[in-house]
Amino acid sequence: MELKDIKAVIDLMKKNDLSVFEMEKDGFKLKLQKGAGDQTVFAPPANGLLGSAPPAPSMAPAPVSAPAPAVPETESSASLREIVSPMVGTFYRAASPESPPFVDVGKEVTEETVVCIIEAMKVMNEIKAEAKGVIAEIVAESGKPVQFGQVLFRVR
Amino acid sequence: MFEKILIANRGEIALRIIRACKELGIRTLAVYSEADVDSLHVQLADEAICIGAPPSAESYLKIDRIMSAAEVGDVDAIHPGYGFLAENAHFAEVCESCKIKFIGPPASAMHAMGDKNSARACARKAGVSVTPGSDGIVETEQDAVKLARKIGYPLMIKAVAGGGGRGMRAAHNEASLGPAYHAARTEAEKAFGNGDVYIEKLIVNPHHIEFQIVADQHGHTVHLGERDCSIQRRNQKVIEECPSPLISPGLRKKMGHAAIKLAESVGYQNAGTMEFLVDNEGHYYFLEMNTRIQVEHTITEEVYGCDLVKEQILIAAGARLSPHVANATARLHAIQCRINAEDPEKNFQPSPGRIAFYYAPGGRGVRIDSHAYTGYVVPPYYDSMIAKLITVGATRVSAIARMRRALDEYYITGIKTTVPFHSAIMRNADFQNGTYDTGFVDRVMKSDNFEIRPTPTRLHE
C-alpha cells in the first residue's frame, strides 16, 4: 500500500462518515480510527511497503497520524465516556415515533449534537452530547423514565 | 384516598412521612440527591428517583425536577415535610396547577402567613396581640430610628422573608441601631434573596410558646395545646416540651382561642403552628405562623395521642378531622431532644462522616425518629440533625428521668453528637424546676456547673 492509497482511504472515510477502517494484507496491518483516541500507535511496515524511502520519520507517519491515530486492538471501558441525564423525565431516541433516531451506534458526535429527547412535564428537551467521539453504546431504553445522573449513552 | 405520594424531603422527616403512608396503605415515591442514595428513606420507599447533585439548590429545591418525578411516578399528592419547599407558596401553586395535591395549607394561606409582616397584619386584624413594632417594612435607617424612639429599646430587626433564626439583629440603643439595621438587611438579602426588614420590640428573655393547629377542608379547626420551645441555641431550638411548665389552664384557653381565630381568619387548612412570645407576667404576643408540620410535632402526638402526619394526609384527601383528634385532651408529659451531628466541646462544630456504630435507646416511653444506622454516612450538605429522642411520662419529673436514662443509653461512635450536651441540660436545676427562657442555654453554658461529660467507650475493640 502506498501513501496515496492511504490518503485515498482517509478521504473515502471522511466522505462516507465512517469511523473505523482496518486491513491486513501480507503481514501488513493498518487500522485507521476517527475521533479522539488515546494513543498513537503504528504497525510499521514489515517489508517497507510504504515506499523505498529511508526510515525518515517525517514522511510516512505524519499525514496518517494527524487525522486518524490508530488505537490498540483491545479497548478498555475506561476509554468510554458517559452521557448522563441532566434531568428527570422520559427518554426518547427520536423526535417522534415516525422519525429516525437521533443517533445510532457508530455515529460520530460533537458537543452540539442532539443525541436524544427527554420529555419532562410535556416539554420535549433536546439533550446534547457535550462530548466529542463516537456512540459506542445506547444504555437507556426509549420510552422509559430516567433520573438525574442516569447513563444514557457511552461514547468512545 | 391517595394511591401514591411523593415525599419532597429527606432525612428523618422523609422517613416519618413514609411510615405514615405505609400505615395508610399508600405507595411512596422518594426523591433524593446523589448524596442520599444510601439514605434509609430511599431504601424504604416503594420507588425512588434521583433528582440532582448533593447541594439542596441542585436537588431538593428544584421544583421542575420534583414535578417531573411526580409525573413520571404518576403520584396523586406531594408531602413537602418541613424546610426546603414546605413553605414555598409558589411550589404549592405549581402542584395545584398540575392537579397534584399539596399536603398542606392552600397557597393563599401560605401567602398571608408566610410573609412575617403580612402575618402580623393578619393578627392585628383578627384582634390577636402582636409585639409592639413597625406597621410594615422599615425602608430606611431614619425610619428605624424614629420608630425606636416611639417603642423603646431593646428591639429586634428581622427579615420579612426570614426563618430559622437568620436575618435577625438585636439593637440595644440608638448607637447600635444603624449597624444592626444594615447587617440584618445584608444577611437577609444573602440568605433569602429579600433584604426587607421589619422591627419588633425585643422582649427580654421571653418564653417561646407555640400552639399546634389542625384544620380540615370542611371548616373545622382545633388546637392541640402548646409546646415550650424556649431552650434554643443561637435561635435554633434544641429541646422542646409539651405541655409548657409556664402555661396555666386559663392562659392555655386564651392563647388557644386566639390561635384558632387567627388560623380561621386566613382560611387555614391542614397542620400549622402559631408561635407566641410570653413574658413572665403572662402577656403573650403573636410572633409568626409556621404553615407546615414541624420538627417537634412528635411531642404533641405523644401527649394528645394522635398521628399528625397521618392526619395531614387524611385531611388533604378530603376527610373530616378524626374524632380522636377533634376531641383530644392532654394526658401525659413529653420532652424532645434534637440529636445533631455536632461537637458540643468544640463550639458545636459540624461533625459529618461515617457512623461507625449506632445504638438507640428503647423501652417504655422512649421514641426515636431517626434515619441513622450503623455505617450511615452523615452528609455535609444539609442540616446536622440525625435523630429526635422523645420521652413520655405521666408527669414532667418522670419524663425528665426517662430522658436522662435514654440519653445515657444512646451510643453513637464515628461522629460527634450533642447527646452529652442534652445530658448536661437534663442535670441542670433550672431546667428541672421549669424556670427557663430563651436566654437559658447561653447563660447555663457560661456557668461553672455546666459540664459536658463525653460518653464513655462501651465496646471492647
Q: What is the ipTM of this complex?
A: 0.74
**Residue A140 touches chain B, beta carbons under 8 Å:** no
- B351 pLDDT higher than 60: yes
Entry field: residues in chain B: 461
* Closest among B33, B37, B26, B38 to B1, alpha carbons compared: B26
* Closest among A62, A3, A125 to B64, alpha carbons compared: A125
Closest partner residue to B51 (CB to CB) among A88, A90, A121 is A88
Measured CA to CA in angstroms, residue B165 lies from A20, B111, B159, B308 at distances of 63, 20, 10, 25
Task: Identify the H or E element spanning B169.
Answer: strand B166-171
Q: A interface mutation test: which of B32, B42, B60, B68 has the most A CBs within 10 A?
A: B68
Q: Which domains does chain B have, with CATH numbers?
A: 4-103 (3.40.50.20), 132-201 (3.30.1490.20), 207-446 (3.30.470.20)
* Closest among A103, A109, A42, A105 to A69, alpha carbons compared: A42
Check B64 against A145: CB less than 8 A apart.
no
Check A149 against B68: CB less than 8 A apart.
no
What single-letter amino acid sits at A108?
Answer: E
Architecture of domain A78-155: Beta Barrel (2.40)
Within 8 A by CB and 6+ apart from B239, the residues are B231, B335, B336, B337, B338, B422, B425
Check B72 against A148: CB less than 8 A apart.
no
List CB contacts (< 8 A) between B59 and chain A: 148
List CB contacts (< 8 A) between A145 and chain B: 49, 72
List CB contacts (< 8 A) between A147 and chain B: 49-51, 69
Among B129-138, B168-177, B319-328, the range of highest mean pLDDT: B319-328
**Residue B294 touches chain A, beta carbons under 8 Å:** no
SS3 A128: strand
Predicted local distance difference test score (pLDDT) of residue A3: 76
Tens digit of each residue's pLDDT (9 = 90 or more) over B332-344 = 999 999 999 999 9
CA of B101 to nearest chain A CA: how many angstroms apart? 16
Check A89 against B68: CB less than 8 A apart.
yes
Peptide bond between residue B249 and the one before it cis (omega within 30 degrees of 0):
no
pLDDT averaged over every residue in chain A: 76
Domain ranges of chain A: 3-65, 78-155
Q: Which three cell numbers stand for residue B95?
A: 402542584
- Which range among A57-61, A130-134, B188-192, B231-235 shows the weakest confidence by mean pLDDT? A57-61
Tens digit of each residue's pLDDT (9 = 90 or more) over B264-303 = 999 999 999 999 999 988 899 999 999 999 999 999 999 9
Predicted local distance difference test score (pLDDT) of residue A46: 42
Can you give the pTM of this predicted structure? 0.81
**Active-site annotation holds for B292:** yes
Check A147 against B64: CB less than 8 A apart.
no
What parts of chain A have a pLDDT lower than 70? Answer: 35-78
- Note whether A85 and A147 are within 8 A (CB): yes
List CB contacts (< 8 A) between B72 and chain A: 88-90, 145
B120, B233, B292, B338: the active-site residue = B292
**Residue A19 touches chain B, beta carbons under 8 Å:** no
Q: Which residue has the cell 414532667?
A: B396
Predicted local distance difference test score (pLDDT) of residue A61: 32
**Residue A20 touches chain B, beta carbons under 8 Å:** no
Predicted local distance difference test score (pLDDT) of residue B164: 67
Entry field: residues in chain A: 156
Q: Which three cell numbers stand for residue B160?
A: 420579612
> pLDDT band at B460, cuts 50/70/90?
low
According to DSSP, residue B416 is labeled -
Residues 60-99 of A with CB under 8 A from B: 87-90
Check B51 against A148: CB less than 8 A apart.
yes
* Closest among B99, B79, B83, B104 to B29, alpha carbons compared: B79
Predicted local distance difference test score (pLDDT) of residue A147: 96
Q: What is the mean pLDDT of residues B162-187?
A: 88
* Closest among B433, B446, B439, B430 to B205, alpha carbons compared: B439
CB atoms near residue B163 (< 10 Å): 15
List CB contacts (< 8 A) between A143 and chain B: none
Within 8 A by CB and 6+ apart from A139, the residues are A82, A151, A152, A153, A154
Q: Are strands B101-102 and B77-79 parallel, antiparallel or unpaired?
A: parallel
- Note whether A30 and A42 are within 8 A (CB): no
pLDDT averaged over every residue in chain B: 95
- Which range among A7-21, B29-43, B62-76, B214-228 shows the weakest confidence by mean pLDDT? A7-21
- Note whether A116 and A91 are within 8 A (CB): yes
CB pairs under 8 A between A and B: 40
Q: B interface mutation test: which of A147, A150, A151 has the most B CBs within 10 A?
A: A147
- Note whether B396 and B434 are within 8 A (CB): yes
Q: What angle do CA B196, B130, B145 make, to 5 degrees?
A: 50
Q: Are strands B4-7 and B77-79 parallel, antiparallel or unpaired?
A: parallel
CA of B51 to nearest chain A CA: how many angstroms apart? 5
According to DSSP, residue B344 is labeled G
Predicted local distance difference test score (pLDDT) of residue A35: 62
Check A88 against B59: CB less than 8 A apart.
no
Within 8 A by CB and 6+ apart from B32, the residues are B10, B39, B41, B42, B48, B49, B50, B51, B59
